[in-house]
Structure 1
């Protein structure tokens, strides 16, 4: 599973109603570092173990998919770094890429397998393309049903000066790093 630090403060202490030397402590909420109630479904699913099949993130809304992405780098414990794989062909299932978190969930699955991490937003994705995360260019990415993402991400613009959609920017970034992108 994964872990997160939850800061709690002691708001008060008094002799316990159970008597003896016991003390009852009242804890104060320490902030919002813990998963929100909306994120609990994803956490509960991951509590069963890392996903062994693709597309388990699909039923979640954007917030749930973002929570899923938050868990991916925490849940996998690899004792020693493995060398990056290059070359070959990867297939991205684009049927469910309807938001930015969904794009990153699907991309990680295509490149590394279910529940894996390969960035959760633009800068992290760019960092992962530089190597050290299991796969590095050059390789071929066949993006099936790419039109779903093209339409869904048409209004999202990462770099306003370019005027390209998030989808177009991701494709351009992949190609700049030496990935052959086949949109189908």
Structure 2
């Protein structure tokens, strides 16, 4: 039974960038990180299976030997338009393979990794919203929880193109601050305000409902990783942005 959009994948060799395999869908793309101490000794991470893959040369050689072989690579995911949407930072390695019901000569791969960087289960909704490319509607990220917002920001950073080519520097952008309560919210809202992270300073940023972030983030610097409201404003000013608090 389908649980939302499926995402094509490509496993790329970390050494020479050759394609290990690529296919139309996968199971186990989303998984929460395991607890530091597992409750049960038998508890294992959710496996990831890459389905319907067209095997590349290196994988074919390993399959022909039919013994233990190690093929490592990084994983790319694609939206329904064929546009790359996310790449993993972790090397995944093939632990087993089997013929696939998706077609003759295709394989299903079970893969594992040393440090799992899959999106958390809460991010499933994010990928539903991005399935046809970067969303066009505003403030969709505000319906997400903390894990979802962090993954939204990662996709936004991975997929931004900045302003249209030839567009002049400068201009005025309006940041909707009604839901900005922490640094992740601020980054999501800022990226949306300037049509994707990476717009060049200088420009003017009108921060609407700035009192929400001022109240939630505080004003006096504290010994902590989380920036204060004043520190966020100072960072923008240092980058040549004129900030108007509204």
Task: State whether TM-score is above 0.5.
Answer: yes
Unaligned 5+ segments in structure 2 are 1-78, 80-84, 100-104
* Structure-2 separation of matches of 1:145 and 1:33: 35
Q: 2:169 aligns with which of 57, 61, 86?
A: 86
Structure 1 match to 2:147: 63
Aligned-pair CA distance for 1:182:
1.3
* Structure-2 separation of matches of 1:26 and 1:182: 53
Compared with structure 1, are the counterparts of its residues 147 and 25 closer, same or farther at alpha carbon in structure 2 (3 Å cutoff)?
A: closer
Structure 1 match to 2:178: 95
State whether residues 175 and 208 of structure 2, in contact with CA within 8 Å, keep that contact through their aligned partners in structure 1.
Answer: yes
* Structure-2 separation of matches of 1:25 and 1:56: 34
Hey, which of these two has a bigger chunk of strand by percent?
2
Compared with structure 1, are the counterparts of its residues 11 and 149 closer, same or farther at alpha carbon in structure 2 (3 Å cutoff)?
A: same
Q: Number of matched residues?
A: 154
State whether residues 220 and 230 of structure 2, in contact with CA within 8 Å, keep that contact through their aligned partners in structure 1.
Answer: no
Structure 2 match to 1:151: 215
Please report the TM-score for the alignment, with normalisation by the length of structure 2.
0.52
Q: 1:108 aligns with which of 188, 191, 203?
A: 191
Residues 18-29 of structure 1 mapped to structure 2, 5 A cutoff? 27-29=110-112
Higher relative contact order (CA 8 A, sep 6+): 1
- Cα root mean square deviation, aligned: 3.3
Question: For each residue in 1:106-137, what CA deviation from the matched residue of structure 2 results, as whole angstroms up to 9, or x when unmatched?
Answer: 1111122xxx2x2xxxxxxxxxxxxxx33321
State whether residues 175 and 181 of structure 1, in contact with CA within 8 Å, keep that contact through their aligned partners in structure 2.
Answer: yes
